[in-house]
Amino acid sequence: MSAADARQPAWTARVLTLFPAMFPGPLAHSLAGKALDGGLWALETVDIRAFARDKHATVDDSPFGGGPGMVMRADVVDAALAAVKPAGRPIYLTPRGRLLDQPRIRALAAEPSVTLLCGRFEGIDERVLDAWNVEEISLGDFVLSGGEPAAIALIDACVRLLPGVIGAPESLAEESFERGLLEYPHYTRPELWQGRRVPEALLSGHHERIRTWRRDAAEKVTRERRPDLWARYVERREAQQGTRP
């Protein structure tokens, strides 16, 4: 057996979509693209329309009960999922889903693969979602034309956590949300720009002073911009302090 054969299979993203040509899209560039070319992860697209059962390749129909728009058919989506045979729960990208966060991204990146279902029109027949115990995930309280942009964002967030993708893995620990806080502000040369100076603490060369400034700055920006994150951070910090001997 060669060394290549002995390697673990790459983390795989399987995307079920009506528009497979949208992939890899941005994922073919920068960190994700280099990692894809280097075999650190793999991308598989499945054209849902290929599982339509009539000569017109119909994948949607009008909703029972009336109303605007069309709904993706349960039988067509079911056939696509059955062909993929997802190892875990498929993920449906939808505004009504649970808000995606960094802990969920870490968990997905730790799995061997992820299967993403991209809806279009008014959505997907509820019965197939129930039948496959689909996990519903949302990027936020807004509506996209379809699940593909959301799938790209989710995949990108997972790929950058895979071993070997980020050149300096320790930098991941400093990013927004990893410690329950937004990231502190960043500065680089020139030291003075349009009358604005870099904070003096960052020029001091004193590592502890720099760490303190960055922690305080991260707390300040989180408190001001994301009261919800700040409340959870304070609660978690108080709980940790309460458990100390």
Which domains does the chain carry? 7-159 (3.40.1280.10), 175-242 (1.10.1270.20)
Residue 165 predicted with pLDDT over 70: yes
Say if residue 1's pLDDT is above 60. no
Strand partners, 196: 193
Confidence of residue 2 (pLDDT cuts 50, 70, 90): very low
**pLDDT tens digits, one per residue of 74-86:** 999 999 999 999 9
What pLDDT score was predicted for residue 232? 94
Q: What pLDDT score was predicted for residue 8?
A: 63
Taking the C-alpha atoms of residue 37 and residue 162, their distance in angstroms, rounded to an integer, is 14
17 in Cβ contact with 23 (< 8 Å): yes
Rg (CA), the chain: 22
Q: H or E segment at 72?
A: strand 71-72
Per-residue pLDDT averaged across 122-137, rounded?
98
Which residue in 206, 149, 156, 117 sits closest to 36, CA to CA?
156
Decide if pLDDT at 119 tops 70: yes
The 10s digit of each residue's pLDDT in 82-108 is 999 998 999 999 999 999 999 999 999
pLDDT of residue 175: 64
Three-state SS at 93: strand
What's the pLDDT at 101? 95
One-letter amino acid at 132 equals: W
What confidence score (pLDDT) does residue 173 get? 63
Residue 89 identity: R
pLDDT tens-digit profile of 19-59?
Answer: 999 999 999 999 999 999 999 999 999 999 999 999 999 99
| Distance, CA of 244 to CA of 123 (rounded, Å) | 49
Q: Is the confidence at residue 245, as pLDDT, over 60? A: no
Tell me if 146 sits within 8 A of 19, measured CB to CB.
yes
- pLDDT band for position 167 (cuts 50, 70, 90): confident
> Is the pLDDT reported for residue 221 higher than 60?
yes
Cα dist from 36 to 27, 167, 205, whole Å: 8, 15, 38
CA distance 38 to 121: 36
SS3 letters for 98-163?
EECCHHHHHHHHHCCEEEEEECCCCCECHHHHHHCCCEEEECCCCCCCCCHHHHHHHHHHHHCCCC
Residues 6-27: tens digit of each pLDDT: 456 799 999 999 999 999 999 9
Q: Of all residues in the chain, what percent carry a pLDDT higher than 90? A: 88
pLDDT tens readout for residues 183-210: 999 999 999 999 999 999 999 999 999 9
Dig out the tokens for 135 from the structure.
């996990």
Q: 77 exposed, middle or buried (CB, 10 Å; 0-12, 13-18, 19+)?
A: buried
* Residue with tokens 């707390």, as numbered in its chain: 219
Average pLDDT, integer, range 65-79 = 97
SS3 245: coil
